[in-house]
Chain A
């Protein structure tokens, strides 16, 4: 489903963020990417969503060579990915409901069916009671759940989260992780970048460890 072969990424006049990365993630797998801050976790996730392009090597996602995509095809690739961003990227000028609705508007969903989808997604993350609320009034954990609802409302086959528990205390963090596990259990491929070793404790999932841009395990 996701296949990296000999992928390197060098930022202009800067260091090598990723060096010669090769791995494959099968459909339905749940994989953690760990490593110190600056190890290249975010870069790796951005390459999958075509937010960054690899300097060399090839990345295949859902059978498409991501590095070669241009224009509209990038948009269509992203619609099949559920992205939870490190900096959340919540739109504070609209309600919780409208934030989650946006991906469906982008894919041209029928408005009536979209309303049902949004409610279902909010229900899954436990925010159904707050659909009319402004995101600014939500707690940190609730905001993170809002991001997850927005990522899954399109029912993507791949869910990618960058530090989804970054600013949360342990209880919230475990809630969020349980949520990702439940998506994994219904067959979604889940990819989570985290520096929080605590979360991995007891996890029997596969772990990719990055160290200064190189894959060590």
Chain B
């Protein structure tokens, strides 16, 4: 156990020393990793923000039921009672055509035009809140109600939220592809860094093997180096994103204010931050491992 511990602490300290000994090169590598990772992670964070935003704005989606103009009072009352009994309907509000016309008169400034109309062109309407807000459930409910007699048209005002949702999943797919491609790039960065290190440490590796170092002993400092560099790159990516949020949030809130939204960007959640760090650490480790696996066997003492 103590031998195991001393081997690992030795490898870790050695990796740190190597990182610190070439500060400029290390900082450059870490910056490259950070910038590369901040791209997909940043877009991912923005998508998350958009989703929260769309949830805030649309609230509970409503179904507006417009009845046929020739619907009688009895028929209207019947629809009302059917809605009351429907299990999917949470609540509803009846807007008679007269009060709709009044509302139009007051809010639109078209009083003269409305007054000149021979008859009320507006239908009776029910504004309905559904129990479930899932887009599929809403669509089902809409299709069902559409079948009822004297219902002329149903406006589902969550349609745009659905479009946004579709757009968001498209965005998420793009982020995923971006992340996969850039991960390859990062593995390549670490791979090359470690390759150079192995070549410059040829003598050390050869001597170590000659005096009884196992392959694990030789591999370990390089793996720690890759993982540490990857983790530092992850921290850099996190800082870049945090700085970006900090800089954008103010102007964005002002913009939202103009559209009467109260909107603030969210930072990466703790879970996402930890995932980011673990992922970048793993990428660094992987690059180092591949590099060590493909170069170390070339150095056999003769």
A residues bordering B, Cβ < 8 Å? 49, 51, 71-72, 75-79, 81, 83, 85, 89, 91, 93, 102-103, 105-111, 150, 154
Give the residues in chain A near B7, CB-CB below 8 Å. 108
B214 touches A83 (CB 8 A): no
Is B115's beta carbon under 8 Å from chain A?
Answer: no
Partner of B212, one of A79, A89, A110, A111: A79
Size bracket of the B interface? 20 to 34
CB-based nearest A residue for B206? A89
Consensus secondary structure, chain B interface: helix
With known contacts A78-B210, A83-B210, A108-B3, A51–B215 Cβ distance under 8 A: no
Query: Besides the contacts A51-B302, A91-B204, what 16 more A-B pairs have beta carbons closer than 8 Å?
Result: A49-B210, A51-B210, A72-B215, A81-B212, A83-B211, A89-B210, A91-B203, A93-B204, A102-B208, A102-B211, A106-B208, A106-B211, A107-B3, A108-B3, A108-B6, A150-B211
Give the residues in chain A near B301, CB-CB below 8 Å. 51
Q: How far is the CB of B201 from chain A (nearest CB, A)?
A: 9
**Which residues B1-58 have CB closer than 8 A to chain A?**
2-4, 6-7, 10
14 contacts between A and B (CB under 8 A): A51-B301, A71-B214, A71-B215, A75-B214, A79-B212, A81-B212, A83-B210, A91-B203, A103-B211, A103-B212, A106-B208, A108-B4, A108-B6, A109-B6
Give the residues in chain B near A76, CB-CB below 8 Å. 212
Give the residues in chain A near B212, CB-CB below 8 Å. 75-79, 81, 103, 106-107, 154
Q: Once the chains are docked, how many angstroms separate the CA of A150 from the CA of B209?
A: 14
CB-based nearest A residue for B14? A105
A89 touches B214 (CB 8 A): no
Q: How far is the CB of A84 from chain B (nearest CB, A)?
A: 11
